[in-house]
Amino acid sequence: MNKNSNIYQIVYSSILVVLVGAVLAVIYMTLKPMQDENIANDKRKQILSALHVTCDNDADVKEKYEKYIVADILADETDEAGHPKAQERGAAFDVDMAANMKLEADKRKLPMFEAKMDDGTTKYVIPVYGAGLWGPIWGYVALNDDGNTVYGTNFSHQSETPGLGARITEQEFQDKFNGKQLIKEGAFKSVEVVKKGQKPSNGGDYVDAITGATITSRGVSDMLAKCLEPYKKFLGGISEEKTTESTNKDVKEE
């Protein structure tokens, strides 16, 4: 075949494209399990961070996740008594929050993670997802066993401005949420992020916004409200049970 002919050039190019494509496909398939595991491990690390659990390496992350996270919960799937049904391991972990948040609130999955800490206390971790200034923001909110008081948070972002909106990842900002409550006088009121000196519109708990990052701070506030409100029935039930237990205990002690 004439190497200078158009037919030769087309055949040669086609074969080259097929070979390169095949090599890239093999590389992708070979590396994908490793990439998926890295993504999963990063997610585990963020969940543990909301629980104030630190990890030394990837192996440590997986080991501690298995130790502290004792159950996956879907708060939208309950039995006749209103209690969450038992879920398989990974049921909450595998929920795609980006896709989930595009659905109407009453059609979303409500994933949660139940954690058992070293002191025997129970915590509930809820994933949150929203929009910042330049792209998506997301995170995890850990609640005490009263289903009301914030125990810890972890926030991440895709492309917020360094030194400004990106500061939502800093521990100093995240620690401001510790001890804040979601239920006030029997009503659900998400924790708002407001400019310093201002008060929240809902009369609930609040934290000061990041200076110079108004839009990202507002994004965190909106993210918490939109993601946590659908859980209010579930969290309210936990809060009522905890209050009843406390009242009964006080009566017995008297």
Please say if the pLDDT value at position 119 is more than 60: yes
48-52, 98-102, 164-168, 233-237: the lowest-pLDDT one: 233-237
Q: How far is CA 65 from the centre of its chain?
A: 14
Radius of gyration of the chain (CA): 23
Amino acid at site 211: T
Give 254's pLDDT tier (boundaries 50, 70, 90).
Answer: low
This model's pTM is above 0.75: yes
Residue 181 CB-density burial (10 A; 0-12 exposed, 13-18 middle, 19+ buried): middle
Q: Is the pLDDT of residue 247 over 70?
A: no
Of the candidates 201, 199, 181, the one whose C-alpha atom is nearest the C-alpha of residue 191 is 181
Among 111-115, 172-176, 185-189, 250-254, the minimum mean pLDDT is found in: 250-254
- Per residue in 191-240, pLDDT (tens digit) is 999 998 898 888 899 999 999 999 999 999 999 999 999 998 888 877 66
